[in-house]
Amino acid sequence: MSSQAELKQYLEFAISLAKDAGQMIRDATQKRLSSTSSQFVVKYDNPTDLVTETDQAVEKFIKERLSSTFPEHKFIGEETMAEGVQSEFTDAPTWIVDPIDGTTNFVHSHPYVAVSIGLTIGKEPVVGVVYCPLMDELYSAAKGLGAYLNETISLPMVRSPLEDLSQCLVATEAGSDRTPEVFDKKIDFIRTLLGQKQCHGKQAHSIRCTGSAAINMCTIAKGVVDVYWEVGCWEWDVAAAVVIVREAGGIVVSGDNKRDLSPVNIFGRKYLAIRAAQDQQSQIKIAEQMWEIIPEINAPRKPVPGGFEP
């Protein structure tokens, strides 16, 4: 494992890189607002899964900067994987990057758009930077070094008691998989989460959807949302934010319904995050209440020779 001095070096580099990538996104946003062309295409023949020229350009920029600075490090990126480039996850330092988390927001000029840059060492997420350039909010953390908003504000900003799911604000997403076997279960989950207790619901305060897994998790780190659950997103969506949530006192465990309190497998495609509280027992209580109503949803990965699918 790297020393804290090394982690701080990686963190400072990732912050600088995220800011530069964020400027590319701001520039592209201004260009798109003055253009009549869409500049996006559909991925995987799925009309709800989009990619833009900016996604591809930002990832190329980040990958080249990382490769020239840390040539011995590995790289896993959303657009690189989408192009069919195979990658094997090892103990070696590995940067896991989403150039634009919230591409659909970006296409619609909605501000919840983020650059997500995470670093794993020994297969553990240890550095995370999530930068929201259109709101100029930068979340950053490294293992043992704390979590911060805009490099100066310590997270969480809110640490009120966690007492019951009925008092929680919960973030989740519709996701890009709209097949009935997935989408209907998510709708049923929301119905149960918000439904009245006399009708066997949990009667949570409400739900929030930012359209970005990374930003959803940063609201957990900030302490302004209590619970985040999602099935179907990917490691590049969460690798950076997992570090930020943990360093802010939150927990990130499996978003399956198997009641597993082990640290989340970032490649598992199922995530449950709970904000900081006065004691971990209250976090576990909320996790247990969520697991009671989380549906069984398949989120498979197709194996490919020497690696895994995007």
Superfamily grouping for domain 4-154: Fructose-1,6-Bisphosphatase, subunit A, domain 1 (3.30.540.10)
Residues of the chain with pLDDT under 50: 42, 303-310
Q: Which one is catalytic: 237, 256, 266, 294?
A: 237
237 assigned ligand-binding residue: yes
Q: Which one is catalytic: 52, 54, 94, 103?
A: 103
Over the stretch 228-266, which tens digit does the pLDDT of each residue have?
A: 999 999 999 999 999 999 999 999 999 998 899 999 999
**Does residue 69 have an active-site annotation?**
no
DSSP string, 24-47: HHHHHHHHHHT-SS--EEESTT-T
**Does residue 100 have an active-site annotation?**
yes
Over the stretch 300-310, which tens digit does the pLDDT of each residue have?
A: 886 443 444 44
At residue 225, the pLDDT reads 98
177 assigned ligand-binding residue: no
Question: How open is the CA angle 300-110-181, to the nearest 5 degrees?
Answer: 25
Enumerate the H helices of the chain as residue ranges.
4-33, 53-69, 78-82, 103-107, 180-194, 213-222, 235-247, 280-293
Q: Is 165-292 in the same CATH topology as 4-154?
A: no
Please check whether residue 211 is in contact with residue 219, taking contact to mean a CB–CB distance below 8 angstroms: no
Q: Which one is catalytic: 59, 98, 230, 247?
A: 98
CA distance 248 to 229: 18
Q: Which one is catalytic: 55, 59, 78, 247?
A: 78
Please check whether residue 214 is in contact with residue 131, taking contact to mean a CB–CB distance below 8 angstroms: no
Considering the entire predicted model, what is its pTM?
0.92
* Helices and strands in the chain, H and E counts: 8, 16
**Torsional sign, CA 302, 308, 309, 310:** positive
153 assigned ligand-binding residue: no
Cα torsion at 51, 79, 57, 33 (round to 10°)? Answer: 20
At residue 83, the pLDDT reads 67
- What is the residue extent of each domain of the chain? 4-154, 165-292
78 assigned ligand-binding residue: yes
Q: Which one is catalytic: 55, 59, 101, 230?
A: 101
Q: Which one is catalytic: 100, 207, 274, 297?
A: 100
At residue 158, the pLDDT reads 83
Pick the CATH number of 165-292 from 3.40.190.80, 3.30.450.40, 2.30.31.70, 3.40.50.300: 3.40.190.80
**Does residue 78 have an active-site annotation?**
yes
Angle, helix 180-194 to helix 280-293, in steps of 10 degrees: 130
